[in-house]
Amino acid sequence: MLKTLKSLLGIGPGADYRELVKNGAQIIDVRTPGEFQSGHIKGSKNIPLQNLQNGMKKIDKSKPVITCCASGVRSGSAKRMLQSNGFVEVYNGGGWMSLRNKI
């Protein structure tokens, strides 16, 4: 069940987020501005999911992208949206608080 849920959300097995960030990955936080202001990962960009289509121009396609949100649902949607718009290396980092502990 958990494996199926993770698959649906686009949370892949064992990405080394620390290594990705060390090598220039961008962290895109797709929560609302209010959620972002209440706490976020240092250096992450806030592009709310509902603004992502227009905000993609702020993301470098040549670098890996890690999406995050509160739980992993919106970041999973963001991952799929980015991939369908030509982003190749995209990871769903899940909830920002757990991602913060992995980088």
Q: What is the pLDDT of residues 1-55, one digit of tens each?
A: 555 445 445 455 568 999 999 999 999 999 999 999 999 999 999 999 999 999 9
Query: Which one-letter amino acid corresponds to residue 6?
Result: K
| pLDDT, tens digit (0-9, with 9 covering 90-100), for 50-80 | 999 999 999 999 999 999 999 999 999 999 9
Number of neighbouring beta carbons within 10 Å of residue 30: 28
Show the tokens assigned to 77: 């949607």
Which letter, b or e, does each residue of 54-83 get, where b requires 16 or more Cβ atoms within 10 Å of its Cβ?
ebbeebeeeebbbbbbbebbbbbbbbebbe
Which positions are annotated as active-site residues?
A: 69
User: Going by C-beta distance under 8 Å and a sequence separation of 6 or more, which residues neighbour residue 2?
Assistant: none
Residue 81 has pLDDT above 70, yes or no: yes
Work out whether the CA dihedral 46, 52, 58, 63 comes out positive or negative: positive
Give the C-alpha distances (Å, rounded to integers) separating 101 from 34, 38, 40, 80, 97: 22, 17, 12, 24, 7
CATH class of domain segment(s) 2-10+17-100: alpha beta
